[in-house]
Amino acid sequence: MTHYGTLRTWALLLKLVGAVLIISAIIGTIVAAVDAEGVARTLATLLIGIPLSVFLATLPIALAQMMTAIADMGDAMRGE
């Protein structure tokens, strides 16, 4: 039995939010690229915008992994 159920629940919620944010970031950047005028602005939006927006969208997933690791360490330290 774990005493870190709440932490694991928040981690799962953050992973789901992160997945939605990644999909939204990709779709939003593609829409912005379609709306951009000129080939250079479209390429800049695709080559800079997608990696940057996806990187920022993955921050909740990184936070969720940290929370899961803390819960795992807490369970390991209890000595059950």
| Domain count along the chain | 1
Cα 71 to chain centroid distance, Å, stands at 19
Domain interval for residue 9: 5-75
Q: Write the pLDDT tens digit of every residue in 15-62.
A: 999 999 999 999 999 999 999 999 999 999 999 999 999 999 999 999
Q: In sequence order, which residues have a C-beta less than 8 Å from that of residue 6 and are 6 or more positions away?
A: none
Does 8 have pLDDT greater than 70? Answer: yes
Q: Write the pLDDT tens digit of every residue in 54-75.
A: 999 999 999 999 999 999 998 8
- Our separate counts of H helices and E strands in the chain read 4, 0
In-domain check, residue 31: yes
In-domain check, residue 80: no
